[in-house]
Structure 1
């Protein structure tokens, strides 16, 4: 399927401020094999400047010289985060560009990268609680219950921003082609307000109780904003959007 099936969030590969000490970068389209075809996804990463002055990078997208220069102007990049086992492909490139940065592994990502023959190594593992390196600025938990993958989610306290990868996808109808809208509907991802895609939701069947406790914790953080890796993110009313997007867990 052509990348023309979905529009980019221009401009790409450039820092966009979200709030104080937090930025997003919209990246290029990537494709994944699903439902017998190649599905295009817009990409997005998040940069947080910690109270130490160090930079924390969630789900790195393509690194360009221009983007590297912008990031270097913010401070020293020290942490590269894989939030789940399908968000890791660019970490190897970033680690080579920033040899002093630590690469943090999500559950299952080491095995996944080896299976896909993508050269990336990790220095530490993400757990249910934040490590000392960013505990002063970010909360985190492993969102459990899926038979396919766990995702590590983060909450930036200073900006009241929840940072997700694939637990919510929010494809805007006016940014996708008619054919792609039909495919999204078939896949159960055509909700204009965003939610987890059907194939991912199905992997939680029989284990929703574990996920409900994770959702309860995220709601207790009371986010004002919710950043997603794919599609439109929520700049306000974050807690209400989170509750609505996860109504399938009820």
Structure 2
């Protein structure tokens, strides 16, 4: 399988190494989108190997790097070093968590001019754990979620971790919002306002950092996935 997996027009995904968080092993995934001017937009970067860098550079010049939540920060320093001329965008909370990283700009509810009209975005507000920036790649009809939707294979965890994962809705028939994130939505009115913008997108596919992608009927899937909200 190619390191860069095509996911639609001008979008590729890369599965990275496993990382540990709170004693749980998480797979990692990033996406790369090529803008109309040829510049590359990197979403949730994974560990940067020399092989991966060669493959990415063959697509175009990396100009924008975004971390969709403050929890997706592990690989940022190596990307900052490898692509010093790229603009690094911080999700809410990222600057506080990684004071050692020089971010160039902050993600807000509206896309900057550089990718407006090609990639839409909205901050999923009201959550005490993290404010996630959710994106929509128009050319491929893909919505991108970092942590708000997850789904692990039934045999991914063992022992007590498997029990906790099931209770947290990290394992199920299809991707779901983990229970801890549901509970953490202290301002559901703000969350529903953000979700309304997501539902307005003509979503065909849904890409997640921690779960198998949804490759069809994405809008209907999102309606089911967030019906609890």
Q: How does 1:184-195 map to 2 (within 5 A)?
A: 184-195=165-176
| Counterpart secondary structure, 1:92 | helix
Root mean square deviation, CA, Å = 1.5
2:144 aligned with 1:163: yes
Q: How does 1:109-124 map to 2 (within 5 A)?
A: 109-114=94-99, 119-124=100-105
2:156 aligned with 1:176: yes
The equivalent position to 2:25 in structure 1, one of 19, 36, 40, is: 40
| Counterpart secondary structure, 1:176 | coil
What per-residue deviation string (whole Å, max 9, x for no partner) do you get for residues 109-140 of structure 1?
A: 110123xxxx4220111111000111131111
The equivalent position to 2:205 in structure 1, one of 206, 212, 225, is: 225
Unaligned runs of 5+ in 1: 1-10
What per-residue deviation string (whole Å, max 9, x for no partner) do you get for residues 152-193 of structure 1?
A: 1111111111011011001122x5244343231133323221
What corresponds to 1:21 in structure 2? 10
Q: Is the 8 A contact 2:169 2:176 kept in 1?
A: no
The equivalent position to 1:204 in structure 2, one of 185, 190, 215, is: 185
Q: Is the 8 A contact 2:167 2:179 kept in 1?
A: no
| Counterpart secondary structure, 1:221 | coil
Give 1:73 deviation, angstroms: 0.5
Give 1:147 deviation, angstroms: 1.8
Distance 2:164 2:126 in 1: 26
Distance 1:188 1:228 in 2: 15
The equivalent position to 2:58 in structure 1, one of 73, 76, 80, is: 73
Unaligned runs of 5+ in 2: none
The equivalent position to 1:58 in structure 2, one of 40, 43, 55, is: 43
Residues matched between the structures, number:
228
Distance 1:31 1:192 in 2: 24
Give the TM-score normalised by structure 2.
Answer: 0.95
- Off by >4 Å, runs of 4+ in structure 1: none
Q: Is the 8 A contact 2:40 2:64 kept in 1?
A: yes
2:85 aligned with 1:105: no
Distance 2:61 2:203 in 1: 27
